[in-house]
């Protein structure tokens, strides 16, 4: 099947089997290995990418389903080589241990902060509840998301 879409603001065109999953296209065809395959059943959030303005589990999204869409992976969160507010906050607050879930959490955080620029801790917890982290206990992740929100607001004000 012929598909055309953008990934991190770059147009891509492929002929893919109808059974090909988006995560395989991203990792194997495009070399975007930041998105991780965790459970292969859309249950853990490690493979979360942005399709348009919604989160999508790339392990359960067929590539043909994003035809004509805009996809953003964790690699697309950087601007001109600089870390995004989300990436900087996660790094500075050590909001990861093994880091396997981090790309999905960063992508989800980006969407959350686009929709809710000043979230409460409860809103953050609700949003990230779909992403499983087996290492951190989540509190440091919540703190990093709130820090990223403050950084974005400060950047917008300046």
Cβ(93)–Cβ(145) below 8 Å: no
Strands (E), the chain: 2-7, 10-15, 48-51, 54-57, 70-72
Residue 143 has a pLDDT of: 97
Q: 2-77 architecture in CATH?
A: Roll (3.10)
pLDDT tens for each residue of 98-117: 889 999 999 999 999 999 99
Please list the residue range(s) of the chain that carry CATH number 1.10.150.120. 85-157
Please list the residue range(s) of the chain that carry CATH number 3.10.20.30. 2-77
pLDDT tens for each residue of 28-83: 999 999 999 988 888 899 999 999 999 999 999 999 999 999 999 999 999 888 99
Work out the pLDDT band at 96, boundaries 50, 70, 90: confident
CA 120, chain centre distance (Å): 20
Q: 85-157 architecture in CATH?
A: Orthogonal Bundle (1.10)
pTM over 0.85: yes
Residue 119 has a pLDDT of: 98
Paired tokens of 158 = 């300046």
14: left (phi over 0), alpha (psi -120 to 50) or beta: beta
């Amino acid at each position: 099947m012929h598909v055309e879409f953008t990934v991190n603001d770059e147009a891509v065109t492929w002929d893919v089997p109808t059974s090909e999953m988006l995560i395989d296209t991203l990792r194997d065809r495009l070399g975007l290995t930041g998105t991780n395959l965790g459970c292969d059943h859309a249950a853990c959030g490690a493979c979360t990418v942005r399709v348009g303005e919604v989160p999508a589990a790339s392990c359960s999204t067929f590539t043909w389903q994003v035809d004509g869409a805009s996809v953003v992976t964790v690699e697309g969160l950087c601007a001109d080589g600089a870390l995004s507010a989300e990436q900087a906050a996660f790094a500075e607050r050590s909001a990861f241990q093994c880091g396997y879930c981090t790309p999905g959490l960063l992508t989800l955080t980006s969407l959350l902060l686009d929709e809710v620029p000043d979230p409460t801790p409860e809103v953050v917890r609700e949003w990230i509840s779909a992403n499983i982290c087996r290492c951190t206990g989540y509190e440091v992740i919540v703190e990093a998301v709130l820090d990223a929100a403050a950084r974005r607001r400060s950047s917008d004000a300046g």
